[in-house]
C-alpha cells in the first residue's frame, strides 16, 4: 500500500510530465517545484524516475543535495549534456551510486563531466548508452591517475588497467555499449576491486 506522500508525488510527477501540459502551465509547476521542501521534492523525483518520463528541466528542479543514489535508467527524454550538468552540480559531491542505463543521448563528454563532479562514485551503470565509445572508458581510467579528464579525448596511449575506475569506483556496467570495444572493457574489469 502506498503512502499519501508517495501518491501525491506520483500525481505531481505526472502533472509535470504530461505531454499535453502547455508550456506556460509546466513553467508554473516548475516554479512551484523550486519552492517545494526537499522532503517532497525527493518523492516527486523518484516518482518521475519510475515513470521514465523525466525531462531536463524537471530533473534540474527536483534534484536535491545529499542524494547518494540516483537511478535515471530508461529516461529517454533526458539529454546527455544537460543531465550530466544537473546531476553533477546538484548532487555530485554526495552521489555514490548512479544508474544511467538507457539514457540514449549520453555521450563521452557527458561521462567526463559526471566524473569531474561525482568524485565519490562507487557504482556507475552506463548499460545501453549506445553513443559511448572507448573515450568514455579512457576517462574513467584516467580519473585515478589524476590525469585531466579532458585528456581522455587527446588520443593519447590507453590508460594502464591498474589505474582504471578511480579510487572509489567498484562497479561499472558497460553492457551493450556497442562502440566500446572488448579490450577497453577488459581493462576496466581487471582493475575493479
- HEC per residue, the chain: CCCHHHHHHHHHHHHHHCCCCCHHHHHHHHHHHHCCCHHHHHHHHHHHHHHCCCCHHHHHHHCCCCCCEEECCCCCCCCHHHHHHHHHHHHCCCCCEEECCCCCCCCHHHHHHHHHHCCCCCEEECCCCCCCCHHHHHHHHHCCCCCCHHHHHCCCCCCCHHHCCCCCCCEEECCCCCCCCHHHHHHHHCCCC
- Mean pLDDT of all residues in 45-72: 76
- Tell which wins on pLDDT, 33 or 168: 168
Share of the chain above pLDDT 90, in %: 27
Distances (CA, A) of 192 to 70, 144, 164, 169, 188: 21, 12, 7, 7, 6
- Tell which wins on pLDDT, 164 or 106: 106
pLDDT at 14 (0 to 100): 66
- Mind listing the pLDDT tens digit for each residue in 91-145? 888 999 999 999 999 999 999 999 999 989 999 999 999 999 999 998 888 775 5
Can you give the C-alpha Rg of the chain in angstroms?
A: 17
Mean pLDDT of the chain: 75
Query: Has residue 187 got a pLDDT over 50?
Result: yes
- Mean pLDDT of all residues in 47-60: 72
pLDDT at 7 (0 to 100): 67
Query: Has residue 147 got a pLDDT over 60?
Result: no
Longest dimension (CA), the chain: 55
Find which of 78-82, 96-100, 169-173, 185-189 is predicted with most confidence, using mean pLDDT. Answer: 96-100
- Mind listing the pLDDT tens digit for each residue in 62-100? 777 788 999 899 887 788 898 999 899 888 889 999 999
Q: b/e for 167-193, b at 16 or more Cβ within 10 A?
A: eebeebbbeebeebeeebbebbeebee
The whole-model pTM stands at 0.71
- Tell which wins on pLDDT, 43 or 116: 116
pLDDT at 6 (0 to 100): 72
Domains of the chain in start order, with CATH, are: 1-62 (no CATH), 65-193 (3.80.10.10)
pLDDT category of residue 154 using cuts at 50, 70 and 90: very low
Amino acid at each position: 500500500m502506498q503512502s499519501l506522500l508517495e501518491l501525491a508525488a506520483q500525481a505531481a510527477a505526472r502533472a509535470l510530465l504530461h505531454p499535453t501540459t502547455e508550456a506556460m502551465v509546466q513553467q508554473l509547476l516548475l516554479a512551484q517545484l523550486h519552492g517545494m521542501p526537499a522532503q517532497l521534492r525527493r518523492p516527486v523525483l523518484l516518482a518521475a524516475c519510475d515513470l521514465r518520463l523525466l525531462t531536463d528541466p524537471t530533473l534540474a528542479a527536483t534534484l536535491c543535495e545529499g542524494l547518494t543514489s540516483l537511478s535515471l535508467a530508461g529516461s529517454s527524454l533526458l539529454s546527455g549534456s544537460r543531465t550530466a550538468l544537473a546531476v553533477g552540480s546538484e548532487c555530485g559531491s554526495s552521489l555514490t551510486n548512479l544508474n544511467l542505463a538507457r539514457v540514449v543521448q549520453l555521450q563521452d563528454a557527458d561521462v567526463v563531466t559526471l566524473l569531474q563532479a561525482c568524485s565519490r562514485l562507487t557504482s556507475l551503470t552506463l548499460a545501453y548508452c549506445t553513443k559511448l565509445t572507448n573515450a568514455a572508458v579512457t576517462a574513467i581510467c584516467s580519473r585515478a591517475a589524476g590525469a585531466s579528464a579532458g585528456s581522455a579525448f587527446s588520443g593519447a596511449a590507453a590508460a594502464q588497467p591498474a589505474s582504471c575506475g578511480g579510487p572509489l569506483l567498484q562497479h561499472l556496467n558497460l553492457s551493450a555499449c556497442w562502440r566500446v570495444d572488448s579490450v577497453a572493457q577488459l581493462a576496466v574489469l581487471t582493475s575493479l576491486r
